[in-house]
Amino acid sequence: MDFRFTSLFLLALIAVACQPAGNKEQNATEAASETADTLRYEQETHLKNVHQLTFGGDNAEAYFSYSSQQLTFQATNAAWGTDCDQIFYMPVTGYTGDKPPMLSTGKGRTTCSYFLPGDTTILYASTHLDDEACPETPPVVDGKYVWPIYESFDIFVARLDGSIIGQLTDSPGYDAEATISPDGKKIVFTSTRSGDLELWTMDIDGSNKKQVTNELGYDGGAFFSPDSKKLVFRASRPKTEEEQQTYKGLLAQGLVQPTQMEVFVCNVDGSDMQQITSLGKANWAPYFHPSGERILFASNHHSESGRQFNIFSIKLDGTGLQQITYDATFDAFPMFSPDGKKIAFSSNRFNGGTRNTNVFVADWVE
């Protein structure tokens, strides 16, 4: 579960039409590249050829297929007939037609979809077995901004035609936020099955479930390292008695306050736990750089109001903090393609002053 707080493409056709006779394919590529880079801020030196793939609504958590050619993502978009998040997929170049194909049932609320090896199936979490209606989403409780932790979330496997072919969890409580190791052998997910929001792993078929974390606080949004040996995740760590009581009280109501989180790394079995960031405020949506030596993550630590989120990079030893994106409102959910050439992220950039969050893809520049 994550929080998210339209730009117009300049058409390349006129530019291409004005080119002298020659290599039309090369001219079109160059024009498209120039168009795309109007969506990149000058300081964003690690991004090139930024493309916007969705236009309107709330689109986030776009994750690459193993082939690097497809993206799966969740969206709430009235124009697509979705009143709360449902799962869609599209080519990395963007969808055609009125909307991309929907992979979820259209019932309940879904979250955190991810391609399985072979790119013919995905997994995602959904509440549809408990209730076909969208569950209530309270943004504020007792003056605190909160995320709901729906006990009705379970993790499912579906084909790209939307047909569900498996259910990987069926225990009481929250099971969601599942992602898959690059080697295709393991799944990591967040669950309340032991009484707190902890990380768990299971084999790709849902068997052999093991608890990874065991410290009080919200552990979630985990991803594997490129070699499948480590996990990076966000975590809250209430320390004082008051903080701990507040956390436990909200969790008992199926809620969590996400305003104080840091980035952690550990081995897949939970050993060698390391806190990577100590920046304060909300540091979340972490993802390993293809080298395995750095992490990209979203943060508002640099914003006095706490309302501006950008993507940052940091080394595994906690040094070398670097700002990657510079939108004035919201950039988050960075994910590298398996081939390491592209990065997907969600942003409010150039949305005409609306609250629309859209999916973008860019070439990554070292």
Tell me: pLDDT of 149 over 80: yes
pLDDT at 33 over 50: no
For residues 34 and 20, the answer to whether their CB atoms sit within 8 Å is no
Each residue of 224-255: pLDDT tens digit? 999 999 999 999 999 999 999 999 999 999 99
pLDDT in tens, 79-127: 999 999 999 999 999 999 999 999 999 999 999 999 999 999 999 999 9
Q: For all residues of the chain together, what is the average pLDDT?
A: 91
Asked, for residue 296, whether it belongs to a domain, the answer is: yes
pLDDT tens digits, residue range 43-62? 999 999 999 999 999 999 99
Does 63 fall in a domain?
yes
Which among 211, 311, 315, 312 has a CA at the least distance from the CA of 271?
A: 211
pLDDT given at position 8: 29
Residue 24 burial (CB count, 10 A): 10
Q: Is 64 part of a structural domain of the chain?
A: yes
Q: Are 33 and 20 in contact (CB under 8 A)?
A: no
Question: Alpha-carbon dihedral of residues 112, 212, 289, 37, nearest 10 degrees?
Answer: 20
Q: For the chain, give the percent of residues with pLDDT over 90.
A: 87
Lowest average pLDDT, out of 34-48, 227-241, 271-285, 343-357, goes to 34-48
CATH of the domain at 238: 2.120.10.30
Number of domains in the chain: 1
Residue at 107 is within a domain: yes
Q: For residue 329, is it within any domain?
A: yes
Q: Which residue range forms the structural domain that includes residue 164?
A: 45-364
The amino acid at residue 231 is L
Residue 32 belongs to a domain? no
Residue 24 lies in a domain: no
- Segment 340-359 shows an average pLDDT of 97
